[in-house]
Structure 1
Amino acid sequence: MTDLNESAQTLKPARELADSPRRFPGESAEYRRARNDLLAEEIELRRHIERVAAQRRALPPGGVVPENYRFESETGPVTLSEMFGTHDTLVTYNWMFGPQRERPCPMCTSLLSAYDGEMPDILQRVAFAVIGRSPIEKLVAFRKERGWRHLRLYSSAGNTFNRDYAAEGPNGDDVPAFNVFTRSGDTVRHFWAEEMGPWAADPGQDPRGAPDVMPIWTVLDMTPGGRGRDWYPKLEYDTAPR
C-alpha cells in the first residue's frame, strides 16, 4: 500500500478538483459557487476518511481474547473462534435486546435491517455476528417477525462477552457496540472497537461514531432538514411510508 504521506503529497488540491462540470436546470451562479465550495469540503472529507481507515488498519496487534467465549446459536453452542468460519476477521455487533426488554432497541433494529440487505456482500469478506443477551429463541423470533434473512444471531446470555467488550452497564443495561477480532492460527485478538461514547460527543450532537455506521443518517445528512433533533426510528409506524 502507498505510504500515507507520500500519497498526500501527490494529491491535487481539493479546490482544483471541485470545479464540477455538472449544471442543473435553473441553478444560479450563487448556487454553483456555494456548491463547488461544498464539493471541495466533501473531497477533503473523503480523503480524511481514507486516512483514518489506513491508520486503523495500521494499529499494532490488540490484546489476546481472554477466553473462547461460548454462545448459543440457532443450531446449538458455538464458540467465538468458531464464529470466524473460513475468515480471519470477525465483526460483532452487540444488539440492545437484553432479557429485560420486551422489544429490542429501535435504533439497533434500524441499523440491523439495513445490514441484513448488505450481509451477502459483507460475508464475502469477513464474518459478522449479531450478539444479544436474550435467549436465542427470543432473538430468532424477532428476526422472523422483521423478515431478516441473512443476519447470524447469537445469544451471550451465559458468558461475560458483553461486559468485557461492550461496556455493559453495571446494572446490566444494554450497550450497543461494534468490535472487530482477528484470528491467526489458534490465537484470537481484539483488533478495534467503536469507542465514541457520550463522553466524546460534541455539544448539541447525539453521541455517535465516525464515520457514522447508520445508513439512515447518511441519507438524511444529504437533505435540507438533516437528521432533525426530535426524530428517531421506531419499530412500527402508524401509517405506511408516503
Structure 2
Amino acid sequence: MTSSALKPAADLANTNTRRVPNESAEYRKARQALLVEEIELRRHIERVAELRRALPPGGEVTRAYEFVGESGKASLADLFGNKPTLIVYSYMFGERREKPCPMCTSFMSTWESKLPDVEQRVSFVFVARSPIARLIEAKQARGWTGHRLYSDPSGDYTRDYVSKEDADLPGYNVFTRHDGTIRHFWGGEMGAGTMDPGQDPRGAPDMDPLWTILDTTPEGRGKDWYPKLSY
C-alpha cells in the first residue's frame, strides 16, 4: 500500500482509547507521541520488506559448494529440499573456537520451536566451519532437535558469502532456486562499518527476540551485558 493511501499515524494514534490505571497526563501525552512513532516504525519496516522483496535477480551461484551434514555430504542444491527458497545462517563455531559463540547460540536457540513453522515455507539450515561431529555434539548439549546442521569443511562457501578472510563471523544469506538456477537473493550487510555511535553492530529489523524484548524495558539492552552459554 502506498503511503498516500494511509491515514496519518497521528490520526491512527488518536483512535487509541487504552489507558493505564493512575497514569498522569504527562505520561499519556508522551505515550501517545510514542505511539505515533511506533506506527511509523511499523510502516517503515513494511516498506523495507517491500523493497527487499522487489530486489532484481541476485548473483547466480555457479560454484559447486560441498557441505557435510548429519547424514553425509550435501551440495547447496541439496539444502533446498523441496523448497524454492533457502536460508543459510552461518554461526561462529570455527575450529579454533573452544565452544560455540554464546551470542550465536542464544540467537539460534530462539528458533528451536519456530523451525517447524518456518520450514513450511522455506528451507533453513545452519552452517559452521567446525567438523560436523563438533557441531552435532554442541547441538545435543543444547537440546536442539530441529536445527539442520552442516559443516563447511573447505571454507569455500564461507569465504564467498560470509567472510573473504574466512574469519569466524556470523552470516545470514537467502538463496532462491528457479528452473534449476540458484541465485543469491539477499544477505545481511550491516556490521561494524554501519553501526551508530554507542551501539553494537546490529541489523534492522533485529531478528533476535532477546534484544527486541529488552528494548521494551527501562533497562534496555545495556552496554556491557551479553548472553552466556550457561548461568
Which of the five TM-score ranges fits, normalised by the shorter chain?
Answer: over 0.9
- Residue pairs, 1:141-160, within 5 angstroms: 141-160=137-156
Offset of residue 61 of structure 1: 0.3
DSSP 3-state at the match of 1:115: coil
1:79 matched to 2:75? The reply is yes
Whether the aligned pair in 1 keeps the contact of 2:129 and 2:155 (CA below 8 Å) is no
TM-score normalised by structure 2 residue count:
0.97
DSSP 3-state at the match of 1:212: coil
Whether the aligned pair in 2 keeps the contact of 1:68 and 1:81 (CA below 8 Å) is no
DSSP 3-state at the match of 2:177: strand
1:102-159 CA-to-partner distances (Å, cap 9, x unmatched) read 1010000000000112101110110001000001110011111001110110000134
1:66 matched to 2:62? The reply is yes
1:142-181 CA-to-partner distances (Å, cap 9, x unmatched) read 111001110110000134000100025x3x4211010000
Which contiguous aligned blocks of 4+ residues in structure 1 show a shift greater than 6 angstroms? none
DSSP 3-state at the match of 2:223: coil
Instruction: For 1:45 and 1:221, locate their aligned partners in 2 and report how far apart those are by CA, in whole Å.
Output: 14
Instruction: For 1:105 and 1:159, locate their aligned partners in 2 and report how far apart those are by CA, in whole Å.
Output: 18
DSSP 3-state at the match of 1:219: helix
* Counterpart pick for 1:176 among 142, 148, 170: 170
The aligned counterpart of 2:130 is 134
Instruction: For 2:155 and 2:41, locate their aligned partners in 1 and report how far apart those are by CA, in whole Å.
Output: 40
Question: What letter is aligned with 1:13?
Answer: P
Structure 2: state its 5+ residue gaps. Answer: none
Instruction: For 1:90 and 1:173, locate their aligned partners in 2 and report how far apart those are by CA, in whole Å.
Output: 23
DSSP 3-state at the match of 1:78: strand
Instruction: For 2:58 and 2:137, locate their aligned partners in 1 and report how far apart those are by CA, in whole Å.
Output: 35
* Counterpart pick for 1:49 among 20, 45, 51: 45
Equivalenced residues, count: 230
1:34 matched to 2:30? The reply is yes
The aligned counterpart of 1:240 is none
1:15 matched to 2:10? The reply is yes
Instruction: For 1:104 and 1:189, locate their aligned partners in 2 and report how far apart those are by CA, in whole Å.
Output: 29
Structure 1: state its 5+ residue gaps. Answer: 238-242
1:200 matched to 2:194? The reply is yes
DSSP 3-state at the match of 1:225: coil
TM-score normalised by structure 1 residue count:
0.93
Percent of pairs with identical residues: 56
Instruction: For 1:113 and 1:26, locate their aligned partners in 2 and report how far apart those are by CA, in whole Å.
Output: 39
1:114 matched to 2:146? The reply is no
1:219 matched to 2:213? The reply is yes
Q: Give the alignment's Cα RMSD to 1 decimal.
A: 1.0
Whether the aligned pair in 2 keeps the contact of 1:108 and 1:176 (CA below 8 Å) is yes
Instruction: For 2:40 and 2:62, locate their aligned partners in 1 and report how far apart those are by CA, in whole Å.
Output: 40
